[in-house]
Structure formats: C-alpha cells, structure tokens
Amino acid sequence: MFMKIPSLKSVTKKLPITELESTDVFYIPLQAYFGTMKPLVAVGQKVQQYLPLAEGKDGSRIHAPVSGEILELNYLINENPHLVLQNDFTNTTYIDQELESATELTDKIRLAGISGSGGAGFPTHIKYKTNAIDTLIVNGVECEPYLTADYALMYDEAGEILKAAQASAQYFGAKNIVIGLEKQNKELVKIFESHSELMHGVSFKLLPNTYPQGGELQLIKAVIGKEIPKGSIPADEGVVVSNVATLLAVYKALELNQPNIDRVVTVSGEAAKHYGNFRVKIGTPIEYVLKKAGVNAANVDVVLGGPMMGKIVTDLKQPISKTSGGLLSFKKSAVKENNCIQCSYCADACPQHLMPMQFASAKFDHDTQKFIQFNVLDCIECGACQYICPSNVPLMQSISEGKSLLKSLQNSVPV
Amino acid sequence: MNKVLTHKAPFVTSKLRVSGVMLDVIITLLPLVFFSYLAHGKYSMMVIGTAVGSALITDWLVSWFFLKKPNSPLDGSAIITATLMAFTLSPYTPLYMVAFGGAMAVLFGKTLWGGVGKNRFNPALVGREFMVAFFPVVMTSASVWMAGTYTVVRGLHPFSVFGQGEIINYLNSIFYNTNGALGEYSIVFLALAGIYLVARRRIGWQIPTGLLVTFFALSLWFEDSISNYSIAGVLLGAIFMATDMPSSPNSNSGKLFYGIMIGAVAIICLAGGVKHEYMSYSILVLNGFSTKINEVFIPRTWGRKTDLPLRIKQTVLLILQIVAVSMAVLGLNYYGYIHYLVFVYLAYMIFNFHFFTQKKLQDPI
C-alpha cells in the first residue's frame, strides 16, 4: 500500500471551534440507520429546544435543536423526508425527565439520540449492547483530507472525551482504552495526558498518515493486530470502536443530560475562500452554513462529508446531519476518462486487498460472476482506488453497480 | 445534448496521469538510446527513428480510422513500443523492415485490441515477430548483424580509474560495449533503468526479480544443454518487455509467478534450440496466460483466508498448461512453422476486431 494522500488540513487544523448562530428554519432529517423515524409532534405544535421530535423502530431519536413551531412533517429533500421547524428564538428548553432519570448508559445514549458520528450513523445504543469487551478503541483518526472537526474536538475537549471513554469502558468492563491518532497529530497525546486523573487504562496508538487508516477494520488491525473481515462484528473480538465526536455526545448525555443536537463541521475545500471548524445544529441547511462561513456556493461543487467518501450536494436546503463532518467546495471540473492501462495502482492502494480494475471490466463485460469471483462485497468504498487511478476509469461506479447487482440477485433467489 | 456530469467521490485525485507513467519509461529509455548512438552512430539513430516515426504515423492514422480517437498518439505509448522494438534489432536492419515492424507493432499489437491498455500481448514483441515472420531470411541470418562495423566510440573505460585487471575490464564491458542488439549496449544502464522504474512504481519488482533469478539459476543448472544467450537481452526483456502493464498480471503474487514462469520458459526455449527469439517467445507465451494468472492469483482479501489446496491445484494446472504451450512453440520452431502462428494471429485479430472489439471501443477497459 502506498497511498499518501496530501492531508490538506493545515488551513483549518489550528482554527478553534466556532459556534454557528442558529438559523430560522431547520430541516430535521428523519432518515436513520434503521429506516425512517416517526414524528412525535404535529404540524403547528410549539416545541422547546431538546424536545424529542421523532423516534425510530429501534428507539433512535432526534431532538429539537431550537425552540419554535413545526411547519411540516414530510418535507422531501432528495426524496428523503424532513421535519420543518421554524425557530422562534426564545430559547426555551425542554427538560426530559426520562433522560434525566435513566440510569443505564445505553438508555441515556438512546434517549439522547446518539448515533455514530464517523460515517454510517449506526445507533450507538445498539452498538453498546454487548458484553465481554476487552478494549475500547477511541477513533481519533480522521484520515479524510481537509477534515479537522475531530482534531478540533480533541484539541478543545479532550477531558470530556476521556470522561465519556472512561464511563463507556466501565460499562463494558473493558480494561483498556486505546486512543488511535495519526502520527501527524501526535501533539494531541500531551493534551489528553494533561487530564491525568482520567488516564487510567488509557494508551495511545500512533498510526501512519496513510489513507484510509481511520476505517474501522484497519484501525482494529492496528490496535489488536488481527484482521477481521468486513461484515463481522468487532465486539466478537472483544473490541468496540467509538469515534471522538460520538464520545463527546455521550459525555453531554451522561453529565449534562443534554441530547445530541449539534456537531462540529469543517468548512474547507479547494474552492472555499473561508474556512473553519463550526459547531452547527443538526438540521441547519447547508446554504446557511456556507453563507455564514462566507463561502459562495455558485459555480462550485459542494460536498457533504470528506473529499474521499463524501456526497455531492444537489439541493442546498439539505441539512447538516449527525454524520456530516465536513462541508467542502470544489471547482467544477469535467473528468476525462481514459483507457485502463492495467497499472495495478488501484490494487496496490486497496486497503481490503481487492483488485478494483476487475470490477470495471466486470461492469463493461456485464459479467456478474466476475464481481463475485473478485469479492466486490468486501469493498469498503473508501475511494482510494479512484483517487490513484491515472485514467479516471469509473471504478467506484463499477463497484456500486456490482454491489446493487448482487443485492438484486440475492433478493430474487428464494432462500 | 447537455450531459450533466454527476461528479462522484472522491473529489480529490492524484496528479498522476497516464502520460506521467509513460514519461518515466521514456526517461529510462533515453540513456540507452544514447549508448546505441555511441555504438553505431547514425545507423542506430536511423533504425530507432524509423521505428518511432512509422509507429507514430500508423498510430495517428489507424487510431483515427479504427478507434475514432485521433489524440491517441500523444500518450507516448507508440514511442515506447517502437523504441523497445528497435532495441531488439540489429543496427543494420534494412529500414523498410523496421518501418513495417513499427507499423505492425501499433496496428496488430495495440490498435486492433481497442487501443492503449487493452492489448493482451506486448506490442513491441508482436512487431518484432511480424518482422521475423515476413522477412525470415534477413531477420534470422547472421549477416544482418555483420553488415557493418561502424562505431562512434569503440570502448568506454569509466572503471579504469580504479585500476586494472580482469574485473575492471569486465565492469567496463558491462558499462558499455558495442555488441548485440540496439538496446543491449549498457548492462549497467539497463539495471539502473530497472531500479528507477521499480522505485517509481512504474513496474513491480516481482516480475524482473522472479524472471532473472529463475533464468540465471536454471541456466547454471542446465549449463551444458543450453546455447548462448545475451545477458543484456535477458535484462531488456525482464525490465522493459515482461513488465508491459496491459499484457502482464495485476496482483503481486501473480506478477511473481509470471516472472518465474517467463524465466523457466526462456530456459526451455534455449534448451530446445531457439536461437534469437527465446525471450520473445517466453514473454509472449506468458502474456497469453496473464488473464488466467489474474484469476488464480487473487490477493487474499482483508480478514479472509485463501483456499490453499485449491490455489495449489490451480497453480499446478496452470504450470502444466504453460509447459504444454511452450512445447508446442518449440515444436513449431523446430519444424520452421512459427510464421504460421503469426499469420493465424493476424487473422484472429481482424476477426476479433470486426466481431467483438469494435463494439467495445468506448469502454475504458
């Protein structure tokens, strides 16, 4: 593996977290990991900040980021339903008795609406329902270029993160807490260590600055030395991996009885004129964040997430969600596709040791068997192959086509 | 029609383009071209120049005619193919033959496969074998190597500053000598080219290492039963020919297996009486197995296990197939029928282009 992607983080790395003032209209995403959440409120209802607005089948929740009035329950942005909340700027807060009186950690986490902040947004209360955990891995590896939201959190709120980590470890009965950091961020070790009273059982693992070191499977290998296949459950190996932003949300639920209503977002990118790490309330439309940050969204591609795995924003009303770590802008550019020259760089770059060029040939040859033969389902879609490809062969597109092809095959075969 | 580009992740990409890969190869070829000038002056330059010119013109014409992609010659691949083909030739090869070889290398080695990257065989060697098939008398006679004795610089002695003696003479001779084909005048610079290309990751170390170790180990073993070979020729094949990206396997283990088998087949060819074409034949035979090697030598996916007994079974089967094909080539060579193989290839390429390749020209792979 030889992926050295320039980190491009220097512009925002040293910037402190800035609170972004609330907007007037929020779009609360109802899409969650296990399907769409059901609203707990009605149109016209006045709500206070922190009131639970919707709940999923698994108990996942989302809360009012501000006080105000519900305008709509099913506002579609990119075909996903959103709740529309008009801010009344009175800042009255709701006190959730259920959250305050909960004693079990997983109940607190569920009632506070915490889900993984790193990527997929898996509900944290389900992840925490496990036993026989030996090691809690704190994922402080933010390997996506440009993004510094996690770095800023660790820099500013290391103590809070450690408190949540200790509480989680105690809940699991885990003896070890390993904080994974990139070598380029090793100054954070000192910041964590300054909270000496919270350091029992804590050690650090410094990882190379290569992409995608922050992938869960790669992080677990680096810490416990064992490769576990995609789709397996880390808890079966005695480890739980938790992102630093998730742990901060756990801290707020545990110590302050505060639901998860905001997150830190890095505003950056090659076409951004203004940069920063902003604390943004969940549901804030992207156009508002960009305007406040001073970024002109005209004639640029706006990307939600990191530059490697993020998604392009087609509707600027789309809100910041619990998983949005970055808001980046790039110059619009036409991608010129050339013939694959079989250089094998994609295979060298693949953290899962796959051969991405074979997926492209499977796509163009309409060869379903080839997708299976070369294990397309083991791809974690980190984008490393596409980054390195000197010909811009549509590798990622081939992979997602292959995966959906196999999925549709599975569904059509009676079990 | 306004095609909306749905820009997909990743939104940052490496600066390296295909032309950058090609440029690195051209950089390593330049010193060897310079040594060929020192050795045979304008004769060398005429052969290399004719090959490159013919390849570029052919590439421009046939890309425009068959592929509808007129910008193709700018990627540098035709220059590399033609130079490498010229490197296997005598400096006194008649120029019309060189022009023919350069054109065939591009047309039957690359274009009719669908363009750069899609060829299954090394185009430089395809060009060379077309020359051998169509001009057998000149290409296989010793006279073409003896046709001239013109040299610009008879010898270079950079190692003589360290003293005198047999070792120094040997070192001087691997630094520069005037014998052999156009790319074979400096073993030192061939080796440096290999190191540079491996360091820059333009070629995997597995192919040249596997090939050279196997070749020289077996050549010591079978010392008595093999005819003379050229060390520089083997190096040229190991570093520049066998490593052609499209015609060699993709995985690291596959590359190692492929390199080892080329070394072994080259020894089989030498032992079977193949005179000049042992590297060509061994590389072309293994080119034909690259797709199969890719299917057998799949890297172990993260967290999963390789089915070792199955891998061994498939590898043994693959070795048997490779040996069988090599024997068949030896047989054809013995009876002097190799040129029919080239004619069959020619017909196959036209058939394949007409019925299959033509329909996939827009696909990048």
Determine the pLDDT at residue B100: 98
* Contacts A393 to B, Cβ<8 Å: 364-365
Convert A226-285 into a string of H (helix), E (strand) and C (coil).
Answer: CCCCCCCCHHHHCEEEEEHHHHHHHHHHHHHCCCCCEEEEEEECCCCCCCEEEEEECCCE
CA–CA dist B122, B130 (Å, integer): 12
pLDDT tens by residue, B308-335: 999 999 999 999 999 999 999 999 999 9
Query: How many beta-carbon pairs below 8 A join chains A and B?
Result: 154
pLDDT tens by residue, B270-280: 999 898 899 99
**% of residues, chain A, pLDDT over 70:** 99
Q: CA nearest A353 in B: which residue?
A: B301
Q: In Å, how far are A54, A83, A282, B83, B132 from A75, measured between CA atoms?
A: 14, 6, 16, 64, 73
Determine the pLDDT at residue B275: 85
Determine the pLDDT at residue B4: 40
Task: Give the pLDDT band of residue B73 (cuts 50, 70, 90).
Answer: low
CA–CA dist B18, A389 (Å, integer): 9
Whether residue B31 has pLDDT greater than 90: yes
Determine the pLDDT at residue A303: 93
Whether residue B69 has pLDDT greater than 70: no
Task: Give the pLDDT band of residue B164 (cuts 50, 70, 90).
Answer: confident
What is the bridge-based pairing of β-strands A239-243 and A135-139?
Answer: parallel
Q: How far apart are the two ends of chain B, measured CA to CA in Å?
A: 25
Nearest by CB: B7 against A301, A337, A352: A301
Which residues in B have their CB inside 8 Å of a CB on A? 5-14, 16-18, 20-21, 75, 114-118, 201, 204, 245-246, 248, 250-251, 294-295, 298-304, 360, 363-365
Whether residue B93 has pLDDT greater than 60: yes
Across the interface, do A387 and B17 touch by the CB < 8 Å criterion?
no
pLDDT tens by residue, B191-210: 999 999 999 999 999 999 99
pLDDT tens by residue, A272-303: 877 899 999 999 999 999 998 888 888 888 99
d(CA B299, nearest CA chain A) in Å: 6
Determine the pLDDT at residue B225: 80
Across the interface, do B13 and A396 touch by the CB < 8 Å criterion?
no
pTM: 0.91
Nearest by CB: A361 against B21, B201, B365: B365
The residue ranking higher by pLDDT, B74 or B192, is B192
d(CA A366, nearest CA chain B) in Å: 12
Whether residue B2 has pLDDT greater than 50: no
pLDDT tens by residue, B166-188: 888 888 888 998 888 999 999 99
Determine the pLDDT at residue B182: 94
In 3D space, the residue among A245, A197, A185 whose CA is nearest the CA of residue A10 turns out to be A185
d(CA B243, nearest CA chain A) in Å: 10
d(CA A119, nearest CA chain B) in Å: 14
Nearest by CB: B12 against A145, A392, A394: A145
**Which residues, listed in sequence order, are joined to residue A202 by a DSSP beta bridge?**
A177
Q: CA nearest A396 in B: which residue?
A: B9
* Contacts A303 to B, Cβ<8 Å: 9, 11
Determine the pLDDT at residue A140: 94
pLDDT beneath 70: ranges in chain A: 1-3, 413-415
d(CA A116, nearest CA chain B) in Å: 21
pLDDT tens by residue, B224-262: 888 789 999 999 999 999 999 999 999 999 999 999 999
Determine the pLDDT at residue B5: 44
Rounded to the nearest 5 degrees, what angle is found at the Cα of B260, between the Cα atoms of B256 and B264? 170
For the stretch B303-327, what's the b/e string if a residue is b when 16 or more beta carbons lie within 10 angstroms of its beta carbon?
Answer: beeeeeeeeeebeeebeeebeeebe
Using DSSP's 3-state secondary structure scheme, residue B111 falls into helix
In 3D space, the residue among B76, B37, B35, B40 whose CA is nearest the CA of residue B55 turns out to be B76
Of the residues A239, A344, A371, the best mutation for testing chain B's interface (the one with the most B CB atoms within 10 Å of its CB) is A344
Within 10 angstroms of residue A412's Cβ, the number of other Cβ atoms is: 7
**Lookup: tokens for B93:** 């090869």
Determine the pLDDT at residue A3: 62
pLDDT tens by residue, A204-249: 999 988 888 778 898 999 999 999 999 888 999 999 999 999 999 9
Whether residue B223 has pLDDT greater than 90: no
In 3D space, the residue among B78, B83, B54, B52 whose CA is nearest the CA of residue B67 turns out to be B78
Instruction: Burial-class residue A336 by CB neighbours within 10 Å (0-12, 13-18, 19+).
Output: exposed
Q: Which DSSP state fits B301? A: P
Within 10 angstroms of residue B92's Cβ, the number of other Cβ atoms is: 20
Q: CA nearest B7 in A: which residue?
A: A312
What is the bridge-based pairing of β-strands A135-139 and A176-182?
Answer: parallel
Q: Is the ipTM of this complex over 0.90?
A: yes
d(CA B70, nearest CA chain A) in Å: 13
Tell me which H or E stretch contains A182: strand A176-182
Answer whether A116's CB lies under 8 Å from A59's CB.
Answer: no
* Contacts A360 to B, Cβ<8 Å: 364-365
